Amino acid sequence: MATRGVSVTNKLREAVLGGDYAGGTRLNEVDLADALAVSRTPIRAALSTLAAEGLLEYRPNSGYAVKTFAAKDIEGIYVVRANLEGLCARLVAQQGLSDVHRGLLHKVLAESEELQTVESWTDEVSDLWRDLNDRFHNTLIEASGNSHLAMMLRKSRAIPLLNQLKFRWFDMGTLARAHDDHSQIFAAITGGQVVRAESLAEEHVYRSGQRIIEHWRKMDTRKPAAGTKARAA
């Protein structure tokens, strides 16, 4: 078993990414210590780690707060992410896929294909697709063999609150399009079409980013009172 510090860090990270705390929420050390049944020490370790990861904001003598993201921030993040995913696809197309990775991607695409047959977009389908989507992108990242790129992309994908939003608003048409994008990217990669792989991947991410920003904006304006210092119950 890992140390308390590590497991608290993971728990807290999940909570923040999962949207358990509103943006701007201040995280009180003793409350967290109570809630997780540990002392303040591992809590502090976790908080400083998450702050360095960019999920929290730190102000000396004042503590940690969940970082807030405006729609404009999300836009900036997605521009970067699109570029990096494009780079990733290009690298993979250049150096070719290993049998293992090709197998994994093939499996993901087959399961995605199967998912097309469902009737309507339920939460269950949403979860399934999220898993497939993650597996597709993660496999590509792994196949690039570039650990720094992997780290950057991980950071670009870890945005508080986003997880609870992502894919909930999907419909079958959007799913079909996303699945088609994945297929095309895969085809371009296996076909050694380097430039095309890059463009497709970049465009794929960019488009899904546009959609997310749209919905983020709605969510943002729905509770503008938050402003600079939102507070949770």
Residue 149 interacting partner from DNA, its own copies, none (CB closer than 5 to 8 Å by kind): its own copies
Binding of residue 56 to DNA (CB under 7 A) = no
Task: Specify whether the CB–CB gap between 113 and 179 falls below 8 A.
Answer: yes
- Residue 148 tokens read as 């720094």
The residue among 205, 209, 226, 197 whose CA lies nearest residue 95 is 197
Q: Which residue, 6 or 230, is less far from its own copies as judged by CB?
A: 6
Out of 148, 173, 222, 227, name the contact with its own copies by CB under 8 A: 148
Question: Shortest Cβ distance from residue 117 to its own copies (Å)?
Answer: 38
Exposed/middle/buried for residue 91 (C-beta within 10 Å: 0-12, 13-18, 19+): buried
171 dihedral zone (left: phi>0; alpha: psi -120 to 50; beta): beta
Q: Assess 11 for contact with DNA (CB under 7 A).
A: no
Choose from its own copies, DNA, none: what does 222 bind? Cβ within 5-8 Å by kind: none
Distance CA 100, CA 89 (A): 17
Q: Which does 91 bind (CB under 5 to 8 A by kind): its own copies, DNA, none?
A: its own copies
Q: Is 91 in the site for its own copies (CB under 8 A)?
A: yes
- 109 Cα distance to chain centroid: 20
Does 29 bind DNA (CB under 7 A)? Our answer is yes
Q: Which does 42 bind (CB under 5 to 8 A by kind): DNA, its own copies, none?
A: DNA
Starting at the edge strand found earlier in the chain, the sheet holding 56-59 runs 26-27, 63-66, 56-59
Q: Which does 26 bind (CB under 5 to 8 A by kind): DNA, its own copies, none?
A: DNA
Q: Give contact residues for DNA (rule: CB under 7 A).
A: 3-5, 26-30, 38-42, 44-45, 60-64
